Amino acid sequence: MDIFSDALNIFINLNSKFFDIVFLSLYVSLVATVIATIISIYISSLLIMKDFIGKNFILIIVNSLMSLPPVVVGLILYIIFSSSGILGFLEILYTPTLMVVAQIIIVTPIIISLSYKALLNKYIELDEYLISMHTPGLKKIYTIISECRFDLLIIIVTGLGRALSEVGAVIIVGGNIANMTRVMTTSIVLETSRGELALALSLGTTLIILAVIINILIYIIKQRYL
């Protein structure tokens, strides 16, 4: 019971170590999700508006990357950005910057695949109407995105949830360094292995609460706007 009471105290009192870990987790995941969303919506828009050779192959690759193991992403980035890697001169290994890059790589295929389906359905529904209105290309895609905004919001929130729960890649490229690159998932692994179960439990509880909040947001959006 002491573990539960200690965990509750850490959670309620916002212990500085606990707060720093939660803040960095949210920062890394939010930045990664925003960048991944911009990239994904742009690519999805091009895929529904343009027909070109290799389009189906790109979709197959994107769908395949949705199941890409995060540890593989972390390993590849480690090789590239280590001191002996081709981009080692950038010196971003074991920094939040590379953790953001890792999460972008993991989340982007998910958002592309899901947003492509949502945008394509709306494109099929509105295409004839937009053609009859002589809507130019950019205005057409803007209209489609606007009409899909609530579907896209659900997809983005889903991507954020995936980013927050990531552990394999960020522990490799971030190094789990105290006060620098330690996020909730990697901290739970470390603190559990060290026997610091109170902090691990408080961080785990925070992750569960964030997951519940994300699912509540998705439910509200679906009920109110869809």
Beta strands in 13-73 (DSSP E): none
**What pLDDT, on the 0 to 100 scale, is given for residue 226?**
62
Window from 80-94, 132-146, 186-200 with minimum mean pLDDT: 132-146
Fold of 2-225: MetI-like fold (1.10.3720)
- Is residue 203 within 8 A of residue 18, CB to CB? The reply is yes
Give per-residue pLDDT as tens, 111-124. 999 999 999 998 88
Nearest residue to 63 via CA among 86, 75, 47: 47
Residue ranges per structural domain of the chain? 2-225
**What pLDDT, on the 0 to 100 scale, is given for residue 67?**
87
Mean pLDDT of the 99-106 span: 97
Mean pLDDT estimate for the chain? 89
- Is residue 112 within 8 A of residue 40, CB to CB? The reply is yes
Answer whether residue 42 shows pLDDT above 90.
Answer: yes
Q: What DSSP assignment string belongs to 132-149? A: HTT--HHHHHHHHHHHTH
- Is residue 141 within 8 A of residue 122, CB to CB? The reply is no
- pLDDT range class, residue 49, cuts 50, 70, 90: confident
**What pLDDT, on the 0 to 100 scale, is given for residue 16?**
82
What distance, in Å, lies between the first and last C-alpha atoms of the chain? 44
Answer whether residue 1 shows pLDDT above 60.
Answer: no
Give per-residue pLDDT as tens, 157-209. 999 999 999 999 999 999 999 889 999 999 998 888 888 888 889 999 999 99
**Its pTM surpasses 0.75:** yes
**What pLDDT, on the 0 to 100 scale, is given for residue 217?**
84
Beta strands in 54-132 (DSSP E): none
Report how far residue 155's alpha carbon sits from residue 32's, in angstroms, rounded to the nearest whole number: 14
For residue 86, what are the CA distances in angstroms to 80, 82, 91, 99, 146? 6, 8, 11, 18, 41
